Amino acid sequence: MSVNERDPHTGHMLTGHEWNGIKELNTPVPKPVWIFLIAAFLFSVACWILLPAWPLGSTYTKGLLGTDQRDVVTEQVHNAAMARSVWTGKIAAMDYAAIRRDQALMTMVRQDGHRLFGDNCAACHGINAMGGKGYPNLIDRDWLWGGDAETVAQTIRAGINSSDENTRVSQMPSFGRDGMLDGKAIFAVSQYVLSLSNPGAVKGTPAETLRTGAKVFADNCAACHGPKGLGDHAMGAPNLTDNIWLYGGDAQTIYTTIYDGRHGEMPAWSPRLSATDIKILTLYVLDRGGPPQ
């Protein structure tokens, strides 16, 4: 309903509606807005036809172009894996010494190993691989289980006191808790152990106590830690003479270690990480420790 009358103030036409002398202006939606709405609608119709759009129960309209973001991502992941396989294939095929001589490969190992280590190992061993109390430093060349490449790889694969059938078993007895040694004997042997790396710390200890300690050590500890306390990789038993400590080298901590045992644990990585990833991590850890000896 429109009348042929123009509002003198605004210049708009009037609709003919009037309430108590107030007349309604005829102000239609501006053309550009119509054009925009129509264009947007046409664009959406085109998208419905060309791209995946409407759900249809268990499937959906696939669109004429046949694009699918899931395929795009799958392809990108595949391409990344292919790009990686160019050098990981070499890692899988070559032996450790040859890889360590190949500087281009070692550059990849350093980058990729850093990521793998950060994702899987840093929580326990620290981002710098230098460990902490109860978690060994992996770059100090002081090994519990041995530091040649195949041995390190095996430790990573099977874990320590893990649920893997090939796990390394770290089993120092709880000499005090299980009543194998009394408090006096544990005190004596802990003083003796302390004397191996830190003679200054036992200056005040009676020679008699140290002699008793040495005897207790020979009878109970040497089987794993060696007659001189130098440790044994086969048992995962640390060298007790080098002043590098997994749990701590003060008298009280050594006493607690002997009283309770420690039974450090590391999960097995074999099913979780691929054989190649474990090889990369082995190379990464050894590389962080410095050039091969």
List of residues contacting ligand HEC (CB under 6 A): 120-121, 123-125, 134-136, 138, 143-145, 152, 155-156, 160, 170-173, 175, 189, 193, 217, 220-221, 223-225, 235-238, 240, 245-248, 254, 257-258, 262-267, 269, 281, 285
Please state the separation of Cα 59 from the chain's center in Å: 38
Least Cβ distance, residue 185 to ligand HEC (angstroms)? 8
Nearest-approach distance from CB 191 to ligand HEC, in angstroms = 10
Taking the complex as a whole, the smallest distance from the CB of residue 178 to ligand HEC amounts, in Å, to: 12
Do residues 246 and 264 lie in contact, with contact meaning Cβ atoms separated by under 8 Å?
yes
Residue nearest to ligand HEC (CB): 264
Q: Is 231 within 8 Å of 217 (Cβ atoms)?
A: no
- Amino acid, single-letter form, for residue 75: E
Tokens 């499937």 map to which residue?
59
- Round to whole Å and give the CA distance between 250 and 183: 17
Residue 84 Cβ vs ligand HEC, minimum distance, rounded to whole Å? 18
Nearest approach in angstroms of CB 123 to ligand HEC is: 5
Nearer to ligand HEC, 7 or 232 (CB): 232
Q: How many CB atoms lie within 10 A of CB 210?
A: 18
Q: Whose Cβ is closer to ligand HEC: residue 7's or residue 164's?
A: 164
Q: Between 70 and 133, whose beta carbon lies closer to ligand HEC?
A: 133
Q: Please, which residue, 36 or 186, has the CB nearer to ligand HEC?
A: 186
Using alpha carbons only, how large is the chain's radius of gyration in Å?
Answer: 37
Report yes or no: 193 and 254 within 8 Å, Cβ to Cβ.
yes
Tokens of 267: 């999960």
Cβ nearer to ligand HEC, comparing 57 with 208 = 208
Minimum Å distance from CB 200 to ligand HEC?
Answer: 18
- Pair of tokens at residue 162: 């893990």
Nearer to ligand HEC, 136 or 210 (CB): 136
CA-CA distance, 200 to 107, in Å (whole number)? 45
Distance CA(213)–CA(233), nearest Å, equals: 23
